[in-house]
C-alpha cells in the first residue's frame, strides 16, 4: 500500500484489550456518559478515534482469536459461545499470530492478562474437560495443576506470559506464569460476583490460597510497568517490544478496589470502569517515565460490548448508558454487541486529535502491524485482516476493508457493507430482547438496517430493499466459501465450507 515504514522506525506496540467495556462507557465517545475516563480520553486526544470499529464477535474467546490471528473465529470449530478456563487450545500451534509475526521481526513479545484461548492442561486419570464450552462443576477438578500446561501463549509467539487462563469468573482462580500456575489452587471455592452485593458468586472450583480477585488488575499493571522498564533500553537501541495486555475488567466479577468504591456515583460497575481507566493511566505513565511514548503504538479497545451484569436499569436511572446510542449489548448481533471503543496513539507518526469513520475490525491489527514493520504476510495467515495504517496516517484513500462479518454468541451472522447491515436472524441473536426463539410470531427472518439514518437499529428495511438483502447474502456466502475476505488464494477445504454454510447460509435458507 506504500505506507510501510523503514526498519529503523519500528515502534513498540501495546495492545490493551478491556473486557466488556461498552462504547458508551468512554467519555470521549459518549459525552453524555457519567463515567470519568481521563486516561482513555488522553489516548484519543493524542491520537485517533475510530468511531466505526468492531469486534469480530460479540463475546470473549472468538474476538481474542480474531485479534491475534487476523482470522474470523467461525473459520474454526468454535461456531458459538466461548471456551472455559480448562478448555484445550484453540489457536493451532502452527498458525501465524501477531506475536509470532512480530517476534520474527526482532520484537520481544509478552502477554499479560486474560488468555481465554485455551491451553492443554494435564488431566487426571479418567477425567475430561469440555473442549468448546465452559467446564461443568464436575469437571472443575479434572486437571493436575502440578504439571505444566502446553500449547498456551508461549506456543503461539509470546516470549513470556503472566495472567489467568480465562475470565475471572471461571476456574482456576490463580495466576499462571508461562506454562505453570504460580500457586497451587488447592481450595474449592468461588469469588463474589459484585462487590458489596454478597448474593451472587462465580463458578465454584480450584482456587489458590489467598486469591480474591481484587488483586488481579493491580498485578497486571505491576507486571506491565515492570516489563516496560525492563525493555526500555533495548527498545531505544533497535529491539522493540510488543505487549498484549488483555485486562479482566470491567467484566464480572465486578471488584473495584477500596480507593475506587463510590467514585463514579453510579454503582460498582461504574467504579470498576474508573479503576480500569486508571490501569491504562499507569501504562501511559510508564511509557512517559521511560521516554518511550513517542514511538510506541498504544491501542485501547474492548473485546465486545458491555455486559448486562453492569446493571443497565440502575445505570440508566442515573443517566448513564454503557451502549451509548447503540442498540443491544454483549452477546448481541446489534451494534451494542460489537461496536467498541478503538483508540490509537502513536505520537512519532500519527497526528493528534483525529477521528475516522473508517470501517475497522480487531482482526485488522495483524495486517496493520505487519504494514507498519514492513513484514509480508503469507497467504495462509491473516485471512480477514486489512491494514488501517492509512487511516492512522490521515490518508484520504479508502481502506481495502469494504465489508465486515459480525457474529453473535449464539452463532448468528450479520454482514456490513457501507451504510447497510444485514442480520441473518429475526432478533438479537444474543441476550437482549428479542432473544433467539422469543421473537414475535411472523417476524421477518432477516433484519436490514441503514446505519447512516438509523444507528440505533429501530427500523427493519428488509421488505423495502430485497435487492440489497440478496446482494449482502451473496457477499456473505462468498466470504464463507472463499475461506478469506482479503485478496489471495482460497484457503478453505470442503469440510470447512460445509461446516460454515451449515451455520450461516443454511440457517438463512431454512428461515425463508
Q: Which residues contact 434 (CB under 8 A, 6 or more apart)?
A: 426, 427, 428, 440, 443
Rounded (10°) angle between helices 38-45 and 268-289: 50
Query: HSE-up of 182 (CA within 13 Å, CB side)?
Result: 14
Enter the pTM of the model: 0.94
Kindly state the percentage of the chain with pLDDT values over 70. 93
- Does residue 376 or residue 491 have the better pLDDT? 376
Residues 92 and 218 in one domain: yes
pLDDT tens-place string over residues 167-194: 999 999 999 999 999 999 999 999 999 9
Q: Which residues contact 123 (CB under 8 A, 6 or more apart)?
A: 129, 142, 143, 144
Whether residue 147 has pLDDT greater than 70 = yes
Residues 379 and 409 in one domain: no
Per the domain annotation, does 1 fall within a domain? no
Q: How many CB atoms lie within 10 A of CB 213?
A: 22
- Does residue 153 or residue 2 have the better pLDDT? 153
Task: Compute the mean pLDDT over every residue in the chain, rounded to the nearest whole number.
Answer: 93
Per the domain annotation, does 89 fall within a domain? yes
Say which CATH number the domain at 136 has: 3.40.720.10
Ramachandran bin of 402, using left for φ above 0, alpha for ψ from -120 to 50, beta for the remaining angles:
alpha
Of 366, 392, 418, which one is at a domain's C-terminal end? Answer: 392
User: pLDDT-derived band of residue 488, with 50, 70 and 90 as boundaries?
Assistant: low
pLDDT tens-place string over residues 418-442: 999 999 999 999 999 999 999 999 9
Per the domain annotation, does 96 fall within a domain? yes
Of 329, 361, 392, which one is at a domain's C-terminal end? Answer: 392
Residues 314 and 453 in one domain: no
Whether residue 94 has pLDDT greater than 60 = yes
Nearest CA to 292 out of 343, 246, 344, 345 is that of 345
Residues 26 and 139 in one domain: yes
Residues 161 and 247 in one domain: yes
Rounded (10°) angle between helices 466-482 and 494-503: 150
Residues 195 and 289 in one domain: yes
> In which domain, by residue range, is 343 found?
7-392
How far from chain centre, in Å, is Cα 76? 17
Residues 145 and 168 in one domain: yes
Per the structure, the count of domains in the chain is 2
Cβ atoms of 326 and 334 closer than 8 Å: yes
Residues 310 and 223 in one domain: yes
Residues 64 and 203 in one domain: yes
Per the domain annotation, does 275 fall within a domain? yes
Q: What pLDDT, on a 0 to 100 scale, did the predictor assign at position 400?
A: 78
Q: What pLDDT, on a 0 to 100 scale, did the predictor assign at position 8?
A: 52
Whether residue 5 has pLDDT greater than 70 = no
Across 362-384, average pLDDT: 97
User: pLDDT-derived band of residue 398, with 50, 70 and 90 as boundaries?
Assistant: low
Query: Distance between CA atoms of 27 and 44, rounded to whole angstroms?
Result: 10
pLDDT tens-place string over residues 280-316: 999 999 999 999 999 999 999 999 999 999 999 999 9
Per the domain annotation, does 398 fall within a domain? no
Say which CATH number the domain at 456 has: 3.30.1120.10
Whether residue 267 has pLDDT greater than 80 = yes
Sign of CA dihedral 85, 504, 304, 93: positive
Cα angle, residue 223 at apex, residues 222 and 225 outer, rounded to 5°: 65
Of 335, 359, 392, which one is at a domain's C-terminal end? Answer: 392
Residues 387 and 421 in one domain: no
Residues 431 and 380 in one domain: no
User: pLDDT-derived band of residue 9, with 50, 70 and 90 as boundaries?
Assistant: confident
Q: What pLDDT, on a 0 to 100 scale, did the predictor assign at position 487?
A: 78
Q: What pLDDT, on a 0 to 100 scale, did the predictor assign at position 512?
A: 33
Residues 146 and 168 in one domain: yes
Per the domain annotation, does 117 fall within a domain? yes
Amino acid at each position: 500500500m506504500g505506507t510501510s515504514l523503514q526498519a529503523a522506525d519500528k515502534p513498540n506496540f501495546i495492545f490493551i484489550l478491556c473486557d466488556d467495556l461498552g462504547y458508551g462507557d468512554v467519555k470521549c465517545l459518549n459525552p453524555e456518559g457519567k463515567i470519568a475516563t481521563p486516561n482513555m480520553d488522553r489516548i484519543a486526544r493524542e491520537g485517533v478515534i475510530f468511531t466505526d470499529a468492531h469486534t469480530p464477535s460479540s463475546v470473549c474467546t472468538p474476538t481474542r482469536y480474531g485479534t491475534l490471528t487476523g482470522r474470523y473465529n467461525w473459520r474454526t470449530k468454535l461456531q458459538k459461545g466461548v471456551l472455559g478456563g480448562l478448555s484445550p487450545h484453540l489457536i493451532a500451534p502452527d498458525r501465524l499470530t501477531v506475536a509470532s509475526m512480530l517476534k520474527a521481526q526482532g520484537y520481544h513479545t509478552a502477554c499479560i492478562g486474560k488468555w481465554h484461548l485455551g491451553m492443554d492442561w494435564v488431566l487426571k486419570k479418567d477425567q475430561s474437560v469440555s473442549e468448546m464450552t465452559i467446564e461443568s462443576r464436575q469437571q472443575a477438578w479434572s486437571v493436575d495443576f502440578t504439571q505444566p500446561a502446553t500449547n498456551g501463549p508461549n506456543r503461539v509467539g509470546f516470549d513470556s506470559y503472566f495472567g489467568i487462563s480465562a475470565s475471572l469468573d471461571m476456574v482456576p482462580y490463580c495466576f499462571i506464569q508461562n506454562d505453570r500456575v504460580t500457586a497451587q489452587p488447592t481450595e474449592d471455592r468461588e469469588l463474589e460476583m459484585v462487590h458489596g452485593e454478597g448474593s451472587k458468586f462465580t463458578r465454584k472450583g480450584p482456587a489458590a490460597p489467598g486469591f480474591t480477585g481484587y488483586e488481579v488488575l493491580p498485578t497486571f499493571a505491576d507486571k506491565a510497568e515492570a516489563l516496560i522498564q525492563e525493555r526500555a533500553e533495548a527498545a531505544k537501541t533497535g529491539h522493540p517490544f510488543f505487549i498484549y495486555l488483555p485486562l479482566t475488567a470491567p467484566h464480572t466479577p465486578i471488584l473495584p478496589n477500596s480507593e475506587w468504591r463510590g467514585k463514579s456515583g453510579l454503582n460498582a460497575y461504574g467504579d470498576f470502569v474508573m479503576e480500569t481507566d486508571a490501569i491504562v493511566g499507569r501504562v501511559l505513565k510508564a511509557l512517559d517515565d521511560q521516554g518511550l511514548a513517542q514511538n510506541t503504538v498504544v491501542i485501547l479497545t474492548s473485546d465486545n460490548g458491555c455486559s448486562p451484569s453492569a446493571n443497565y436499569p440502575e445505570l440508566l436511572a442515573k443517566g448513564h448508558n454503557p451502549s451509548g446510542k447503540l442498540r443491544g449489548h454483549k452477546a448481541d448481533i446489534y451494534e451494542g454487541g460489537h461496536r467498541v471503543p478503538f483508540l490509537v496513539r502513536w505520537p512519532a507518526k500519527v497526528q493528534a486529535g483525529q477521528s475516522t469513520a473508517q470501517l475497522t475490525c480487531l482482526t485488522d491489527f495483524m495486517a496493520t502491524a505487519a504494514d507498519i514493520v514492513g513484514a509480508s504476510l503469507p497467504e495462509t495467515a491473516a485471512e480477514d485482516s486489512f491494514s488501517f495504517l492509512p487511516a492512522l496516517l490521515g490518508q484520504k484513500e479508502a481502506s481495502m476493508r469494504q465489508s465486515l462479518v459480525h457474529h453473535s454468541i449464539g452463532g448468528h451472522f450479520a454482514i456490513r457493507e457501507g451504510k447497510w447491515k444485514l442480520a441473518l436472524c429475526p432478533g438479537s441473536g444474543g441476550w437482549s430482547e428479542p432473544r433467539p426463539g422469543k421473537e414475535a410470531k411472523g417476524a421477518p427472518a432477516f433484519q436490514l438496517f441503514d446505519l447512516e439514518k438509523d444507528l440505533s437499529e429501530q427500523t427493519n428495511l428488509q421488505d423495502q430493499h430485497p435487492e440489497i438483502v440478496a446482494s449482502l447474502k451473496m457477499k456473505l456466502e462468498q466470504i464463507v466459501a472463499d475461506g478469506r475476505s482479503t485478496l489471495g488464494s482460497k484457503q478453505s477445504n470442503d469440510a470447512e465450507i460445509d461446516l460454515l454454510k451449515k451455520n450461516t447460509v443454511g440457517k438463512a435458507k431454512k428461515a425463508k
